[in-house]
Chains A and B, each alone.
Chain A
C-alpha cells in the first residue's frame, strides 16, 4: 500500500523480516495474516475454549471482489462453517477497512468471538525510532526504545470502558484505570505515522497494543473487534459463578480509518490534528468557541446530601442558595470575572430518592430560593448549571423498579449492585426530560450530566441486545435536547460521542493509568478539544498534588474549577459527599482569587486551537497556540511563562 512519497505501509512484516522471527506455528502465521479471528464452539463440553484462525489457516478460501470504491476480501473457513469479509477502500488521507456485520457467516458450531483487524499493520521492531500511541488518559506513548517492567498482558482495553454488568470483567480485581475516552490509536515510525480512528462500532472494540516478547518480536497496535463476551453467571447464591460465552452476536458494523501522516505531522500532535480534522469533517465536534476577555472558571457548590439517622433521613445542608449568592458576590469582588456555577445536591433529600427530585430541597431555600439565586446570577452574567445523575438508581429507596427500568446483563438478569441498578437509556431520558423542563422554569442555564459522558453499556434485554451504539444515540439525543431547551449540556470525562453536543467537560482525562507500558503521557485529547469545548481537570481544592496539577492544567489548557461549600465540609462526613475533604469557601477564597489571576493571563488563548506541544527538557513543556503564543511550564521551578506569539 503505497503513499504519496513512496513510503510503504505494510499490513504485515515481509518474509525476509519474518525469517529472523523466533515464534512458530500459529503465532508465526498470524504475523502473515491481515486478521486473526478467534472463535468458540456453541456445542459440546467446554464452550469457553477459544481457538483462532487466520488467512494462512488450512482450507481457507479467499475471494477478492472489486467494488465501486475499493476491494472486498471475503474469507471462508469451510470446515468451521465460518466466514466474513473485509472491505478496503483508499481515501484521500489513507485507508479505510470495514467489516460489515452482514458479511459474517456462522452456520455451524463455531461462533465468532473476536476479530483482530490488521494486527500487524505497520508493526515495528524495537530498534526503530518511534512509538505506539495509545488512548490512555489524555494520550499515552509507548516508546520503542525504552525497557519496561515485566509486561505480561500488553495494553488491551475496551473503548469507553468494560461492560460493567459483566461480573467477569471485574471479578478478578478492583483494577482502577482511566477508561478510553476516544476511539483512536496510532503508530509513529521515524518520519512516518498513522492515526487509526475507529469510525464505526468503536464502542465494541478493544485497542490492543502489544510489545515485543509476547506474541512476536514486534511492537504492534490494532483494533480487536468484540463480537461476544465471556461472562460469569451465578447458578445460585451459594455456588461459585461459572464462565460462559454470550450467545447472541453483537450485530454492528465495524470500520477503522487509517490516516497517514508524514514528517512534521508524524507525531502525537499531528495525530491529534488529524483526529480533529476528522471530527470537523464529520460534524462530530461543535463550533469554535468565541474569544473571551477573561478566562472561564467553574465554581461547583455542594448544596448538601443526606445521611441516615435513626429512623429518619437527615438532609445535611452545606450551602443554601442564599449562601451561594454571597459566595459568588464575594468572588466577583475578588476579581473572578467569568465564573460558571454548577450546583450539586439540590434534589429533594439529595441523592436519597433519585426518582423524586422536586421540590428542590427546602432546607436550601426550595424552588423559590433556587429561582432567585439563578436570576440573581443571570443579572450578573453568571450561568448556573445543575448537576444530576440519571443513570445509577438507588433501588433501595426509589419507586423505580429494577425489573422494568434496570439494564440487564448477558445472563438476562437485571444488574444490581448493593441495591443500585443502571437505568435503561429510555428511563434515563424520561427522568431527564422531566427534570430539564422543571429546571427551565427555574431559569437554569444547563445541566451537568453525571455518567452520560463517561461510560456506556449494552442492555441484554431478551433476544435483542440494545447495544452500546444504541445507548450512545439515545444519550446524544438527550444532550441535544438539554442544549436546545436550556442552552448547554455538560458532562464529565467527555467521551468522544458526546463532544459535539456539550458546552463544558468536567474531569477530562488528564492522568495516565500508571501502566508499566506507557512511558509518556501527552495532551492528545486536549489538543483535539481546545478552542472547541472548554474543559477542566480535577477541582483545585481537591488536588492530590497542588502545584503539579495546577501546572498540568496550564500546560494542557484546562479551565480551573473549585468544589465549594459554605459550611465546614466535615458536616458531610457521613454522607455520600464525603469526598469533599476540604471545601469550605472561607478556607479557599484567597487561593481561588490568586489562581484565577494566573489563569486569566491565559484568557487570550481560550478560543484558539493548540498547534504544538513539546517537551523541552525533563521538567519543561511548551504548548503552542494558533497565534504563535507559547506557554512554557516548568515543573521543576513550579512556574509557567506565556510567550506572546507574532499573531497576537
Chain B
C-alpha cells in the first residue's frame, strides 16, 4: 500500500519518491543489481552515513585516502590541501604559506604510500610535491617536449606509481594521461580513450570529400575525468558520457585495459573511481545520482545514496567531486556543493555480504560459508546468496541443496554442475534397473506390436478409419520420404480432421516446450510467460507462409490449390513433432556440457523443416528445383512485406486508439 507506492516509484524512477508517504530511515535507498534481469532491486543498507565534515572548505574538488587512513582534500576555492584524520579532525593544511609551496586553485591530490603528497596545482600550471612532514619539496613544470607543443599544462588529476612515474590528467585533454618520469621528463601519453566511431561518422567518411571532412568536428576521444591507482599498480581511469562505455578502465603498465572497454552499469555520469583492498570498485555517478559498488570485473553489485543539489542531510550529496575508500572500508566523498566531506561506513550486513562476495570471487567457498549464512539469515531475497550458498553446497557435495539454490538464483552453470553430480549418483544406483528398463521397453516395442497386430487384423477398422489411418501414415512417411510423401498427399484429399489434429498436436508440443523444457535450457519463471505471444510468434509465420506461398505460386504458374498448400504446410511440420519430444526429454537429462546434443538436434530439426517446406513447394506446385528456390525466396520476401504492412496498419490504428483513449481519460478522469 504505502510500500506499494514506494515499489511502483522504484521501478519508474528512484528519485521521484512521494514525500510524506515515505518514512525515512536513511535519507536514501539501497539497491542490488540482479544480472539475470538487469534490474536494480531493493535491499537493506550496505552503507550508512556516518558524518559530514566541514573543515571550512570552500570548494573541495578532489580527495585521496592515504595509506595512514588520513584524508587529503584538495580545496580549490581555498587554495590549499586539507589533511583530516580518520575521524574528520583537521591535522594540517598544505600550500597556504607564502613561498614556492603556495598553491593556486589545486584540483587534484595524490598521496604515495610513503606519505609524499603530489598536488595538481592547476592555477600555477605545475605539480607541487610536499614531503611526508608537510614541507614543500619540489615542483614539476611543463616538460620540455615537442609532443606537448602549445598545449597548456593545466594538471587536474594525477597518480604516481611505485617507481615515481607521474600520470597526469590535463584539463580536458583527449590525448590521455601525460606520463612524466621522476625527473620530470615527458614519457609520452598514456591510456587515451578510443575515439567514438559512430555509424554517422563512417557514413560521412564514405561520402564527404577531404575539405568537407576537415570542416566537420572531429570525433575526438572523450577526456579522462579522473584517475586512481590500486595496490597492484593498475591505473584506473574514469570517463564520463558514452553511456558507460569504458567508464572505468583498468590499465596495466602497457596501457592495456583489463576490463576491455566494458560498458559500466550506471557509468554515464561517472565522477571518480576508487578501489578498496579487496579490489572492489566504487563509483559516484551523477546520472543515476548514486554511489555504485562493482566487483573486480566491474559488474554492478550495489547502489545507494542520493544526489540533491540543495542537500542539507548527511549522506545526501550536492555536487560530488571525488570518492575514496579507507582501510576500514569507509567511503569518503568530497562535495563541493555542501562544502563538506561525507563519510559512509559499512553496516554489519554490508560487511558480511561484501566479504562473502570477495571470498566467492576468490574461490574460497568454504570460507565464505559463514558470511553467506549470516547474509541469508537477514535476507531471503538477494539472489547472490543463493548463488554463493549454492556454490558452497556444491563444494560440500550437498548436491540437492546446491541444485535448489542454483535454481532459485537462475544460475544455470552451477545448476548444471550439481545436476551432473546428482545424475552420476543416480546412475550409479540405478544403472542395472535403467538398462533392464530400456531392454524391456525395446522388447515391448518389438514384440508387443506383433502381439497386437493379429488382433487388429481380426477386426479391421471401418473404411472411414482406414482412410484416416492412411493419412496419418502418410504424415509419418513424409518425414523420411518427402518427395513420395508429398506426391501421395497431392493426390489424396486429406480429411480436415486429420489436418486439425496434426495442428493441435503441434500446438500441444509447443506448449510442452514452453512449460516443460528442462531448467537448463529454459531458465525462466514460467508463470510470467506470455503464452499468447509465444504461440503467435510460432503460428503467425506459419500462417503468413501459407498465404504468401499460395499468392506467389499462383502468379508464378504453380499448380497448387489453396487447400493443398494448407495441407502440405501442415504435413511439412512433421519434423517438429518428431524432434521436439526427444529434445524435450533430453533437456531434462543432459547438462550444459552436453548441450551440444540438444543444440544439434534443434538445428537439425530446423534444417529439416526448411527442407520440408521447400520440397512441399516443389511438389505441390510442380516446380523444378530452381523455380522452387526462386519462388520460396519470393515467398519469404512477400512475408516480409505482409508483416511490414501489418505493423504499419497496427501502429497507426494503435496511435489513433491511444489518442482517443488518452483524451477520454483526461476528460473523464482528471477534470
The answer to whether A binds B is yes
Cβ of A4 under 8 Å from chain B:
no
Complex Cα gap A579–B380 (Å): 11
A417 touches B18 (CB 8 A): yes
Q: Which of A163-196 contact B (CB under 8 A)?
A: 164, 169-179
Tell me the nearest residue of chain A to B337, going by C-beta: A150
Cβ of B445 under 8 Å from chain A:
no
Complex Cα gap A583–B381 (Å): 11
A310 touches B310 (CB 8 A): no
B377 touches A420 (CB 8 A): no
- Chain A nearest Cβ from B79, distance in angstroms: 18
Tell me the nearest residue of chain A to B670, going by C-beta: A413
A174 touches B17 (CB 8 A): yes
Cβ of A93 under 8 Å from chain B:
no
Cβ of B414 under 8 Å from chain A:
no
A511 touches B25 (CB 8 A): yes
A618 / chain B contacts, CB cutoff of 8 Å? none
Cβ of A206 under 8 Å from chain B:
no
**In-complex Cβ contact of A493 among B23, B53, B529 (8 A):** B23
A173 touches B314 (CB 8 A): no
A414 touches B23 (CB 8 A): no
Cβ of A480 under 8 Å from chain B:
no
A569 touches B22 (CB 8 A): no
- Given contacts A176-B26, A538-B25, A573-B381, are A579 and B19 in contact (CB under 8 A)? no
From B7-15, B159-167, B230-238, B552-560, give the one contacting chain A: B7-15
**In-complex Cβ contact of A164 among B9, B20, B43, B306 (8 A):** B20
Q: Which of B388-418 contact A (CB under 8 A)?
A: 408
Cβ of A7 under 8 Å from chain B:
no
A175 touches B43 (CB 8 A): no
From A60-68, A331-339, A449-457, A604-612, give the one contacting chain B: A449-457
B44 touches A544 (CB 8 A): yes
B381 touches A578 (CB 8 A): yes
Cβ of A555 under 8 Å from chain B:
no
A173 / chain B contacts, CB cutoff of 8 Å? 15, 306, 308-310
B223 / chain A contacts, CB cutoff of 8 Å? none
**In-complex Cβ contact of A582 among B3, B12, B379 (8 A):** B379
- Chain A nearest Cβ from B649, distance in angstroms: 25
- Given contacts A310-B527, A392-B5, A573-B381, are A162 and B54 in contact (CB under 8 A)? no
Cβ of B568 under 8 Å from chain A:
no
- Given contacts A514-B316, A516-B52, are A578 and B42 in contact (CB under 8 A)? yes
Complex Cα gap A423–B1 (Å): 13
**In-complex Cβ contact of B20 among A152, A161, A573 (8 A):** A161
Complex Cα gap A450–B4 (Å): 12
Cβ of A568 under 8 Å from chain B:
yes
Cβ of A129 under 8 Å from chain B:
no
B528 / chain A contacts, CB cutoff of 8 Å? 309-310
A544 touches B48 (CB 8 A): yes
Cβ of B150 under 8 Å from chain A:
no
Cβ of B433 under 8 Å from chain A:
no
A577 / chain B contacts, CB cutoff of 8 Å? 3
Cβ of B21 under 8 Å from chain A:
yes
Complex Cα gap A151–B18 (Å): 24
A569 touches B381 (CB 8 A): yes
B377 / chain A contacts, CB cutoff of 8 Å? 582, 587
Complex Cα gap A194–B41 (Å): 47
Complex Cα gap A403–B670 (Å): 6
B481 / chain A contacts, CB cutoff of 8 Å? none
Complex Cα gap A171–B49 (Å): 24
Q: Which of A306-320 contact B (CB under 8 A)?
A: 309-311, 314
A545 / chain B contacts, CB cutoff of 8 Å? 48, 347-348
Contact size range, B: 35 or more
Digitize A543-567: 1 where CB-to-B-CB distance is under 8 Å, 0 elsewhere: 0111000000000000000000000
B348 touches A310 (CB 8 A): no
- Given contacts A149-B54, A175-B27, A178-B24, are A310 and B530 in contact (CB under 8 A)? yes
Tell me the nearest residue of chain A to B386, going by C-beta: A570
Complex Cα gap A546–B378 (Å): 10
B314 touches A162 (CB 8 A): no
Complex Cα gap A162–B17 (Å): 13
How many residue pairs between the two chains, A and B, have CB atoms under 8 Å in the bound complex?
A: 199
Cβ of A57 under 8 Å from chain B:
no
Complex Cα gap A517–B9 (Å): 29
Digitize A576-614: 1 where CB-to-B-CB distance is under 8 Å, 0 elsewhere: 111101111001000000000000000000000000000
A150 touches B669 (CB 8 A): no
**In-complex Cβ contact of A175 among B4, B44, B308, B532 (8 A):** B308
Tell me the nearest residue of chain B to A236, going by C-beta: B666
Cβ of A251 under 8 Å from chain B:
no
Complex Cα gap A584–B378 (Å): 10
A507 touches B23 (CB 8 A): yes
Complex Cα gap A280–B602 (Å): 79
Cβ of A270 under 8 Å from chain B:
no
Cβ of A634 under 8 Å from chain B:
no
Cβ of B315 under 8 Å from chain A:
yes
**In-complex Cβ contact of B1 among A351, A403, A511, A570 (8 A):** A351
- Given contacts A162-B19, A170-B17, are A402 and B339 in contact (CB under 8 A)? no
Complex Cα gap A401–B671 (Å): 12
Complex Cα gap A577–B42 (Å): 12
Complex Cα gap A153–B338 (Å): 11
B12 / chain A contacts, CB cutoff of 8 Å? 418
Most chain A beta-carbon neighbours within 10 Å: one of B28, B316, B377, B380: B380
B49 / chain A contacts, CB cutoff of 8 Å? 514
B53 / chain A contacts, CB cutoff of 8 Å? 149
- Given contacts A150-B339, A413-B671, A579-B3, are A418 and B9 in contact (CB under 8 A)? yes
Cβ of A290 under 8 Å from chain B:
no
Digitize A270-295: 1 where CB-to-B-CB distance is under 8 Å, 0 elsewhere: 00000000000000000000000000
Cβ of B312 under 8 Å from chain A:
yes
Q: Which of B263-291 contact A (CB under 8 A)?
A: none
- Chain A nearest Cβ from B333, distance in angstroms: 13
Cβ of A394 under 8 Å from chain B:
yes
A570 touches B380 (CB 8 A): yes
Complex Cα gap A247–B382 (Å): 50
Cβ of A513 under 8 Å from chain B:
yes
Cβ of A416 under 8 Å from chain B:
yes
Complex Cα gap A579–B2 (Å): 11
Cβ of B16 under 8 Å from chain A:
yes
- Chain A nearest Cβ from B528, distance in angstroms: 6
- Chain A nearest Cβ from B378, distance in angstroms: 5
Cβ of B501 under 8 Å from chain A:
no
Cβ of A515 under 8 Å from chain B:
yes
Cβ of B531 under 8 Å from chain A:
yes
A91 / chain B contacts, CB cutoff of 8 Å? none
B19 touches A169 (CB 8 A): yes
Cβ of B45 under 8 Å from chain A:
yes
Tell me the nearest residue of chain B to A413, going by C-beta: B670
Most chain B beta-carbon neighbours within 10 Å: one of A492, A569, A581: A581
A403 / chain B contacts, CB cutoff of 8 Å? 668-671
A576 touches B527 (CB 8 A): no
B338 touches A516 (CB 8 A): yes
Most chain B beta-carbon neighbours within 10 Å: one of A171, A175, A517, A568: A175
A153 touches B316 (CB 8 A): no
**In-complex Cβ contact of A147 among B45, B54, B339 (8 A):** B54
14 intermolecular pairs with C-beta atoms under 8 Å apart: A149-B53, A151-B312, A152-B310, A164-B19, A172-B309, A175-B27, A176-B28, A178-B23, A403-B669, A417-B5, A515-B314, A516-B338, A544-B44, A576-B4
Beyond A418-B9, A418-B12, A545-B347, list 19 extra A-B contacts (CB 8 Å): A152-B338, A170-B17, A170-B18, A175-B308, A176-B24, A177-B313, A179-B20, A311-B532, A351-B4, A392-B1, A403-B668, A416-B669, A418-B8, A420-B4, A454-B23, A542-B44, A544-B25, A576-B4, A581-B378
Ranked nearest first, the 5 interchain pairs of A and B with the lowest CB-CB distance are A161-B20, A389-B1, A576-B4, A173-B308, A176-B24
B-to-A contact residues, CB < 8 Å: 1-5, 7-9, 12, 14-29, 41-45, 48-49, 52-54, 306, 308-310, 312-316, 338-340, 347-349, 377-382, 408, 527-532, 668-671
